[in-house]
Amino acid sequence: MPTRFSASQYIDGILAGNRVLLSRAITLVESTLPSDQELAQQVLDAVLPHAGRSVRVGITGVPGVGKSTFIEALGLHLVQEQGKRLAVLAVDPSSQRSGGSILGDKTRMNKLAAHPQAYIRPSPAGRSLGGVTRSTREALVLCEAAGHDVIFIETVGVGQSETAVHGMVDFFLLLMLAGAGDELQGIKKGIMEMADAVTITKADGPNETAARLARREYQNALHLFPLAPSQWSPVVTTSSALTGAGIPEVWQVVEQYVEHTRQSGYFQRRRQEQHLHWLHETIREALEARFYARPEVQARLQQVQQQVQEGRQSAFSAAEELLRL
């Protein structure tokens, strides 16, 4: 079992920007041991007043879009040109099935990982989407308290993780490819609607013309969606991680959005709504975990599930029966 420090050692280390203690604290919040959870909550409560000052950006994209390469290019622009301190977190529920984690993140973004102003944290392995989401929210707070003023949260794969990530960021960026058959590439309409900006990646060499064309098509498609509560019209850009073209412009769009929503008050309102959502989510998850952990539920669950599967009992009456135990 890894060494545990006292709450004050974690707190002092995080506030001093110590990467080793930040990593250890994130390992602590990812742990499911009750003693670790208790210690993690003490640390989170103490550092919370120092969090909340970053810009949180969710990044998702279709397969083959070159997400890691793009994140590295944008990340290097932020730490080298803008003087930012960046943390990159990943939400990867798929690692639950394989039991492995995308520890390849650091090797995929080796230049960025080596930069003293950047911190990359792979997704914890073997956790449900709820578990990954919760530990990512807590890791986000710790990274902010450690002085990171930009947080990237990357989704892995296209699935439910987009909604989870969208619920914890200020700005949602969708990466797309040009000329991959159907221009909307089967991307779910719901994911398109979440996007505050779209960037067409790999816009270099022979692909440049196709990228410009795709940009127009996406811009037209996005105009058909109703205006988001932020009153912001999504922007479509083209970018190349290879040449660096269009990378600074992506960050300019993020800054324009932040300025627009801060002036209107939406930025703060959305953060407050997210905090309340996290509260209710945490309560729901805890109640569910306690319910399934009860011995009387465990004793009856198998039989009830079988009856529901075979159509001998309705799901509603079965749920009612278990809840009454």
pLDDT digits (tens, 9 = 90+) for 30-63: 998 989 999 999 999 999 999 999 999 999 988 7
The answer to the question of residue 272 being in a domain is: no
CB atoms within 10 A of CB 90: 26
The per-residue b/e assignment along 129-148, b for 16 or more CB within 10 angstroms, e otherwise, is bbbbbbbbbbbbbbbbbbbb
Q: What is the CATH number of the domain that holds 212?
A: 3.40.50.300
Same domain, 79 and 130: yes
**Contact predicate 36/24, CB 8 Å:** no
CB atoms within 10 A of CB 304: 18
Residue 244: what are its φ and ψ, rounded to 5°? 85, -5
Helix spans in the chain (H): 7-15, 19-30, 34-47, 67-76, 95-98, 104-108, 110-114, 129-145, 161-166, 189-194, 208-223, 247-264, 266-293, 295-309, 315-324
pLDDT digits (tens, 9 = 90+) for 261-297: 999 999 999 999 999 999 998 899 889 989 999 999 9
Same domain, 91 and 31: no
Same domain, 127 and 41: no
pLDDT digits (tens, 9 = 90+) for 119-162: 999 877 666 777 788 889 999 999 999 999 999 999 875 566 88
Q: How confident is the prediction for the chain on average, in pLDDT?
A: 89
Residue with tokens 């037209």: 220
Task: Report the C-alpha gap between 136 and 125 in whole angstroms.
Answer: 12
Residue with tokens 């109703």: 226
Same domain, 320 and 197: no
Task: Report the C-alpha gap between 308 and 318 in whole angstroms.
Answer: 7
Same domain, 92 and 130: yes
Task: Report the C-alpha gap between 250 and 211 in whole angstroms.
Answer: 15
Same domain, 28 and 46: yes
Q: State how many domains the chain has.
A: 3
Same domain, 197 and 281: no
Distance of CA 8 to the CA centre of its chain: 28
In three-state secondary structure terms, 222 is: helix
**The two structure tokens encoding residue 144:** 């902010």
Q: What is the CATH number of the domain that holds 37?
A: 1.20.5.170
In three-state secondary structure terms, 173 is: strand
**The two structure tokens encoding residue 148:** 């990171």
Pairing of strands 235-238, 86-91: unpaired
pLDDT digits (tens, 9 = 90+) for 194-234: 999 999 999 999 999 999 999 998 898 888 888 999 999 99
The answer to the question of residue 167 being in a domain is: yes
Provide the residue range defining the domain that includes 92: 52-264
Of 141, 11, 53, whose CA–CA distance to 89 is shortest? Answer: 141
Q: What is the pTM of this model?
A: 0.90
Task: Report the C-alpha gap between 301 and 293 in whole angstroms.
Answer: 11
pLDDT at 190 over 90: no
The answer to the question of residue 269 being in a domain is: no
Task: Report the C-alpha gap between 82 and 248 in whole angstroms.
Answer: 10
